Amino acid sequence: MSDEKVLNEAFGRSMIARGRMEKIAALRGAFAVKIAREKKDPLYTKMIRFKKAYKLTKKQLITKYGMKGLMAARQAAANFGNEKK
């Protein structure tokens, strides 16, 4: 799969139509995290620590490759809907 194909697939609608079961699954996860935070569960603390590390690493990558990513995103946005099927 070419890089252009991946970019065109990545640029699109972000709204996802969920069914009843998908909504329940999402809420289950959200409430599980909420309960874990209230109970001060060590797994919750671990999850947050790694989430912060992930965000820091992502920020470093954006700093390093941000302009190339911006150019690719602009090109994908300009070509969205124009690809031949």
Amino acid at 2: S
Cβ–Cβ contacts within 10 Å for residue 12, how many?
10
Q: 15-30: per-residue pLDDT in tens?
A: 677 788 888 888 898 9
Q: 38-82: per-residue pLDDT in tens?
A: 999 999 999 999 999 999 999 999 899 989 988 888 888 888 777
- Record the pTM: 0.52
Q: 4-15: per-residue pLDDT in tens?
A: 554 445 555 556
- Cα–Cα distance for residue pair 16/7, rounded to 1 Å: 19
- DSSP assignment, residue 20? H
